[in-house]
Amino acid sequence: MNVVVTGFGAFSDQSDNPSGLLARALNGQRIGENTITGVVLPVATGQIGPALATALEGLRPRLVLGLGVAPGRMAPALERVAINVRDFPVPDTENAQVVDEPVIVDGPDAYLASLPLKAILAAWRAAGLPGYVSNTAGTYLCNQLFYLLAHQGRDGGFRAGFIHLPALPTPAAAPAPSMSLDVMEQAVRIAVDVATSHIGPDLPLESGALS
């Protein structure tokens, strides 16, 4: 059974983008009954859609899980909602800086992840891993990809979701939130396993936020 895991390449100060490193590392591996296809997508708003279409062609995946890095976050974040907005705080690698434009013209305002987020979170906790459910994937390329995955998953019959990862540790003088690549890989493996094996409603696990 096919599962696609996507990551992004280098951008800005993320020369070692953990999402892209994990997509490469997982490519060709098996998680449970699933064969993983790992794809590294360009950090360019105009290229994501075509690159994603090429990656999914002929695969008929049961799950497509997008990964991205979110410097400053302290733990992996299961994104709950993708919004139909592109509003870039910084340019992409092709120097495009889109402001207040939709991901898909006339598309729905938002999509919810079709993953069992709480079941994944419970499995992370059982494994001693940190993590949480996030209610914003931002308005940059990670949100764009998440929205495209959810939109295509609705018609393509696959589960779609997105996980934001912390940055990798760096030798910078000032300590910053980070996580080792092997721990992030463990979290992604668990997410894939639960997302493809969980049956029935998601778990009623409290993980909301006041703001």
> Which residues are catalytically annotated?
79, 142, 164
Cβ count near 162 (within 10 Å): 28
SS3 content of the chain, % helix, strand, coil (to 5): 30, 20, 45
CA dihedral 42, 48, 54, 60 (to 10 degrees): 120
User: Distance between CA 168 and CA 18 in Å, rounded?
Assistant: 7
All residues at 6 or more sequence positions from 30 whose CB lies less than 8 Å from its CB, including other chains: 36
User: Distance between CA 12 and CA 57 in Å, rounded?
Assistant: 30
